[in-house]
Amino acid sequence: MSTTLDPDAAPLIPARSLNLARFGRRRRDWGRAGAWTGVGVLVLVTLVALTASRLAPYDPILPVTQPLAAPLTEGHLLGTDSIGRDILSRVLVGITYSWFGALAVIASGLLIGGTIGVVAGAAGGWVDNVLMRITDLFLAMPAPVLAITVVAALGPGLRNTLFAVAIVWWPFYARIVRGEIRTLRARPHIEAARLAGTGRLRIALRHLLPGAVPAAVVAASLDVGGLVLTLAGLSFLGLGAPAPAPELGADTARNLSYLLQQWWIPVMPAIAVMILSLAGNVGGDGMRTLLDKR
């Protein structure tokens, strides 16, 4: 060996590692900014859905001009459909149905699933077993088949479809909440609360439930996008509101035959579904970044 290793020549700490720390910090800042953007998108979509009937330039149900007008003609931004209804108006009102439909299903899921999850997780033992087997039973039901059954029994309509989806949706939340509660229950702070003589109900509501909320909210917000797709899919199959109602899935399905000539009639509502679903996912990711500390 001709070269000698001089111990003083090599720097003790490679300079690169110092920059890494700064890079990490910057990425985290971006992550938070992105998360807030995602939540902002959620809020924006909700605002649009709330004010859709006022934002819509025309009545979504009635024909307002000649049919089959292309997008960007005579004040019809997205064109008109086969009988001359303004597509923009129909899409906006359709967004209201889809968005609030999804939110309603999630809210009911959180309510039912959360309650069952808290009771099962906090009680343990046979109560837990019975409740979780019931949950498994509902989880095993195929959503579209159940929806068709419910609609067949109760008649078509948006409310019945939502009802059917809500029936199969809550078990996810019951499982998440129960899992969180079980983990929390083994923690020392529950033992401390028990020793303080705190009642079971108060332990469940004050010492256990708040700890399960972030996980449930994160799971729920990530579900919004998927739920919008599910509801649009059911409505595409004809399980939504009946004919004149502006519904994104149904509008796409009914006008599928125009796809090759007047593509905008089926494609515009489909794009709206895509945007909603995307907004749900981006917003859900944002919520996860902000709420999930793990």
Partner 1 sequence: MRAFPHELSGGLRQRVMIAMAVAGTPSLVIADEPTTALDVTVQSQVLGLVRRLRDEIGCAFIVVTHDLGVAAQVVDRVAVLYAGRLAEIGPADEVLRHGAHPYGVALMRSRLSLRSDRHTRLLALPGEVPSPGRPEPGCAFAPRCELAASDCLVTPPAPEPVAEGHLSACVRDLAAVRQWAGAPLPAVETVPGPESDGPVAPEASHPAVRVVNAVRTYSTGGGLGRRRSLQALRGVSLTVAQGEAVAVVGESGSGKSTLLRLIAGLEPVDSGSVELGSAAGAQMVFQDSGAAMTPWLTVGELVGERLRTAKVPRREREERVLAALRRVGLPPEAAKARGGQLSGGQRQRVGLARATIVPPEVLLCDEPTSALDVSLAASVINQIGALRRELDMAVVFVTHDLSVARIVADRIAVMYLGRIVEIGTADEITHEPRHPYTKALVGAVPDLGVELPEVIGEPASPLDPPPGCAFHPRCPMATGTCSDPEFDPRLARLPGARSSPGQPLSGQPLSGQHFVACINVRED
Stretch of residues binding partner 1 (CB under 8 A), selected from 54-62, 150-158, 206-214, 227-235: 206-214
* 196 lies in the binding site for partner 1 (CB under 8 A): yes
Report in angstroms how near the CB of residue 238 gets to partner 1 at its nearest: 46
Nearest residue (CB) to partner 1, 215 versus 279: 215
Report in angstroms how near the CB of residue 188 gets to partner 1 at its nearest: 4
List 152, 191, 243, 256, residue binding partner 1 (CB under 8 A):
191
Q: Which amino acid would we find at residue 6?
A: D
Which DSSP helix (H) or strand (E) runs through 115? Answer: helix 87-123
With H, G, I as helix, E, B as strand and everything else as coil, classify residue 213: helix
* Per-residue CA distances from 18 to 12, 14, 30, 136, 213 (Å): 12, 8, 20, 51, 38
* 33 lies in the binding site for partner 1 (CB under 8 A): no
Stretch of residues binding partner 1 (CB under 8 A), selected from 44-52, 68-76, 99-107, 205-213: 205-213
CB 225 within 8 A of CB 280: yes
Give the contact letters, 161-190, x = binds to partner 1 (CB under 8 A), - = no. Answer: --------------------------xxx-
Nearest residue (CB) to partner 1, 26 versus 187: 187
Tell me how many degrees the CA angle 220-222-228 measures, rounded to the nearest 5: 90
Strand partners, 86: 80
Burial class (CB in 10 A: 0-12, 13-18, 19+), 13: exposed
Burial class (CB in 10 A: 0-12, 13-18, 19+), 260: exposed
Report in angstroms how near the CB of residue 208 gets to partner 1 at its nearest: 9
The rounded distance, in Å, linking the Cα atoms of 179 and 118 is 9
* 197 lies in the binding site for partner 1 (CB under 8 A): yes
Report in angstroms how near the CB of residue 191 gets to partner 1 at its nearest: 6
Q: How many residues bind partner 1, per CB under 8 A?
A: 17
* 292 lies in the binding site for partner 1 (CB under 8 A): no
Report in angstroms how near the CB of residue 196 gets to partner 1 at its nearest: 5
List 200, 206, 242, 243, residue binding partner 1 (CB under 8 A):
206
- For residue 55, the tally of other CB atoms under 10 A from its CB is 16
List 157, 198, 271, 291, residue binding partner 1 (CB under 8 A):
198
* 210 lies in the binding site for partner 1 (CB under 8 A): yes
Q: Which of 222, 188, 192, 190 is nearest to 203 (CA)?
A: 190
Residues that bind partner 1 (CB under 8 A): 187-189, 191-199, 202, 206-207, 210-211
